[in-house]
Amino acid sequence: MNPRFNDTFLEYAQSRGFVIDPTRVRHPKDKPKVERAVPYVRGSFWAGEQFLSLSDAQRRAEIWCNEVAGVRVHGTTCLRPAEAFRAMEAALLLPVPTERFDVPEWAEPKVHRDFRCEVARSLYTVPYTLVGKRLKARADSKTVKFYLDGQLVKVHPRMGPGKSSTDRADFPPGKEVYATRDLDQLRRRAAEAGPAIGEYAAALLDHPLPWTKMRQVYRLLSLVKKWGAERVEAACATALEAEAVDVSLVGRMLERAKEEQGNQQPEEDLPANVVKGRFARDASEFAPRKKVAR
């Protein structure tokens, strides 16, 4: 049975240059003889002592190692531990690390439909082609890295809880403005369609929470695509004069204008001996009309 190492401990071992040698399950003789040191420390150093603080305990532990534990004769090796360490082990040790180990956090977030992953209560974008997949994320104090099947696919700077890091290149082409909530770019697109359309879009976004009104601007731009900029420009100008800021109203105005244009029929030339009735109703009044949902 092959052991599975903790990701953080495995990375620590790699950064410090030592090898992990796990023991086999139910094979106690594979373990080195280290447990007997625990009762010795407990009885010789801890028993009957009182420490003022952690720093006080650490200071006195160093004194105890140098003056008591290190100079005694070990019962198994028959050597003094401090002398044996200096003679055989000290030269084999690596230099003491100069930097503190940056403990990482590992997670396995899923890529949501908005092309983002949540790691430690923060959001990060990843390429849109990974939607629905589960990645492996490594977050330290400076960066957040995302892996798929062992391959690095995205790197972000570490963000605080409740914040997000966004890369426009992660979104599908043409969808950046929707996904990033870029209000300025949305206003520019509306203004390019026409001055009245741009003014109408700015009026829609004039709200304490403007991103909640973005869908209405999207709908206004879809009306431009459906009816043409000239018709929507005229409808927006009329709506602005009436101070009616409602995209549904603009849509109804365009529908009504189309119906009225379709119902206008040229009058038939009547014979000279036929007099048109004074109270006769216009033929357009009998034309079928499309019901408009309200």
Average pLDDT over residues 45-53: 91
The predicted structure's pLDDT at residue 71: 93
Q: CA-to-CA distance for 213 and 187, rounded, in angstroms? A: 12
Q: CA-to-CA distance for 27 and 31, rounded, in angstroms? A: 8
The predicted structure's pLDDT at residue 170: 87
CA angle (79, 83, 85) in 5-degree steps = 100
Helix (H, G, I), strand (E, B) or coil at 168: helix
- Split into its structural domains, the chain has a count of 3
Q: In terms of domains, do 155 and 111 share one?
A: yes
Confirm whether 293 is domain-assigned: no
Q: CA-to-CA distance for 33 and 95, rounded, in angstroms? A: 26
The predicted structure's pLDDT at residue 135: 96
Number of H helices, E strands in the chain: 10, 7
Contacts of 4 (CB under 8 A, 6+ apart): none
Confirm whether 249 is domain-assigned: yes
Q: What is the pTM of this model?
A: 0.52
Among residues 92, 117, 132, the one where a domain terminates is 92
The per-residue pLDDT for range 259-290, each reduced to its tens digit, is 777 665 555 566 666 666 666 666 666 667 66
Average pLDDT over residues 117-135: 93
Confirm whether 287 is domain-assigned: no
Q: In terms of domains, do 87 and 141 share one?
A: no
Confirm whether 11 is domain-assigned: yes
Q: Which amino acid belongs to residue 81?
A: P
Residue 131 has pLDDT above 60, yes or no: yes
Q: CA-to-CA distance for 49 and 59, rounded, in angstroms? A: 13
Q: In terms of domains, do 28 and 75 share one?
A: yes
Q: In terms of domains, do 14 and 59 share one?
A: yes
Which spans in 85-213 are helix H? 176-180, 183-193, 195-205
Q: In terms of domains, do 208 and 241 share one?
A: yes
Its domain, for residue 145, covers 105-170
Confirm whether 279 is domain-assigned: no
Confirm whether 242 is domain-assigned: yes
The per-residue pLDDT for range 3-45, each reduced to its tens digit, is 788 889 999 999 888 888 888 888 877 776 666 788 889 999 9
Q: What are phi and psi of 125, to 5 degrees?
A: -85, 150
- Burial of residue 100, with CB atoms counted within 10 A of its CB: 0-12 exposed, 13-18 middle, 19 or more buried: exposed
Confirm whether 146 is domain-assigned: yes
